[in-house]
């Protein structure tokens, strides 16, 4: 039986991480991304690094690179890793080129991307997936996995077998909406980390920054309850207990939440990377999603709304915040 062919639409950090491991395992993978990013890969190749495994380098001649969705035409599985704001446009572009029977898998932040893809691609199977760990571009042509973890995706035997063969831990989940809501709770830290300017391990090690995240999560959990949403338990703590754990003194937090701090010394959120590179962020699909959900339930989410505003301000005028200053700013918004 022939191996499946893959295309990665949105070959940034996450797309190159997923597609790169598949290509290193011998799968036919087409990387589709921005011209500048593809030029870098064409010159340098792609290096996959992590703190637990030796780096893997794919020379330029081992990479199939493209800049338009037409390159996805021959793929059996298309992994979509574009920013949430680009999902609808990407889906419209894909619709004209997908092979009959091709499966589309969303590995994106936020809640609405699988539904947007399904609406635009009614003749295709669309699955939800999730990358629970940090992946960032550590230098041009290199993507680094900054913490351990396993992928999650709706069941698809071919996809799961390919990830396993590529050395990527993966778990099939039939409750992906609950998983996505839980991941959103974690991703609310992206904005806090981006504004801190610190590596994730340092930021999460400071109680004032964790208190900012706890404020965001409490608003999110209240909106979830009002909407009848039950987020999945993905770690050692139930979602409703996490804000309490975040508020523990630093020494206690380090003991009880050691797994949360198992990140590389230099790992940072993708939102920090976006701000540093002058790209639009996904804050509207993270904190903004909580604001929208709360509004739909007749509630307010002023802390998350304030973070949306602060990140948009930082997109045009970068600024870093100390933990106490950011916490005071967010408390004042309530």
Enumerate domains of the chain plus CATH numbers: 5-174 (3.40.50.720), 178-333 (1.10.1040.10)
Look at residue 89 and give its three-state secondary structure: helix
DSSP secondary structure, 273-286, as one string: HHHHHT---SGGGT
Residue 204's pLDDT is 94
Mean pLDDT of 183-209: 96
Mean pLDDT of 318-324: 96
Residue 265's pLDDT is 81
With cut-offs at 50, 70 and 90, classify the pLDDT of residue 71: very high
Residue 53's pLDDT is 84
With cut-offs at 50, 70 and 90, classify the pLDDT of residue 290: very high
In the predicted model, is pLDDT for residue 1 greater than 80?
no
Do 184 and 110 form a contact (C-beta atoms < 8 A)?
yes
Instruction: Please give the mean pLDDT across all residues of the chain.
Output: 95
With cut-offs at 50, 70 and 90, classify the pLDDT of residue 257: confident
CA–CA dist 6, 22 (Å, integer): 8
Residue 73's pLDDT is 96
pTM confidence score: 0.93
In the predicted model, is pLDDT for residue 51 greater than 90?
no
In the predicted model, is pLDDT for residue 84 greater than 70?
yes
Q: What share of the chain in percent tops pLDDT 90?
A: 89
With cut-offs at 50, 70 and 90, classify the pLDDT of residue 313: very high
Mean pLDDT of 273-282: 92
With cut-offs at 50, 70 and 90, classify the pLDDT of residue 101: very high
Within the chain, residue ranges assigned H as helices are 13-24, 35-44, 87-95, 113-120, 157-165, 176-187, 189-196, 200-204, 207-227, 242-246, 250-256, 270-277, 287-296, 302-316, 323-333
With b for 16 or more beta-carbon neighbours within 10 A and e for fewer, the 80-100 pattern comes to bbbbbebbeebbebbeebbee
DSSP secondary structure, 172-237, as one string: E-S-HHHHHHHHHHHHTHHHHHHHHTS-HHHHHTSHHHHHHHHHHHHHHHHHHHHHT--PPP-SSS
In the predicted model, is pLDDT for residue 158 greater than 90?
yes
Q: What share of the chain in percent tops pLDDT 70?
A: 99
Residue 263's pLDDT is 80
In the predicted model, is pLDDT for residue 57 greater than 80?
yes
In the predicted model, is pLDDT for residue 261 greater than 80?
no
């Amino acid at each position: 039986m022939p191996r499946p062919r893959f295309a990665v639409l949105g070959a940034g950090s996450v797309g190159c991480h997923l597609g790169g491991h598949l290509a290193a395992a011998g799968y036919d993978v087409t990387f589709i991304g921005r011209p500048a990013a593809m030029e870098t890969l064409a010159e340098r190749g792609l290096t996959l690094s992590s703190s637990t495994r030796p780096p893997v380098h794919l020379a330029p001649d081992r990479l199939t690179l493209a800049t338009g969705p037409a390159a996805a035409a021959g793929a059996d599985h298309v992994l979509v890793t574009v920013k949430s704001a680009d999902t609808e446009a990407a889906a419209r572009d894909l619709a004209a080129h997908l092979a009959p029977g091709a499966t589309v898998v969303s590995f994106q932040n936020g809640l609405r991307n699988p539904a947007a893809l399904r609406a635009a691609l009614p003749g295709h199977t669309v699955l939800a997936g999730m990358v629970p760990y940090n992946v960032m571009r550590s230098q041009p042509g290199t993507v680094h996995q900054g913490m351990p973890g396993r992928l999650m995706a709706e069941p698809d035997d071919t996809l799961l077998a390919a990830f396993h063969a590529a050395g990527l831990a993966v778990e099939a989940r039939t409750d992906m909406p609950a998983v996505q809501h839980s991941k959103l709770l974690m991703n609310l830290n992206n904005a806090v980390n981006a504004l801190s300017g610190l590596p994730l391990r340092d930021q999460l090690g400071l109680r004032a920054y964790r208190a900012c995240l706890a404020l965001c999560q409490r608003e999110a959990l209240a909106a979830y309850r009002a909407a009848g949403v039950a987020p999945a338990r993905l770690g050692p703590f139930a979602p409703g207990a996490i804000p309490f754990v975040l508020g523990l003194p630093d020494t206690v937090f380090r003991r009880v939440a050691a797994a949360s701090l198992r990140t590389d010394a230099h790992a940072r959120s993708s939102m920090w990377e976006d701000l540093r590179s002058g790209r639009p962020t996904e804050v509207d699909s993270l904190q903004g999603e909580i604001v929208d959900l709360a509004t739909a339930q007749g509630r307010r989410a002023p802390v998350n709304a304030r973070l949306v505003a602060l990140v948009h301000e930082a997109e045009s005028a970068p600024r870093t915040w100390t933990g106490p200053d950011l916490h005071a700013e967010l408390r004042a918004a309530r």
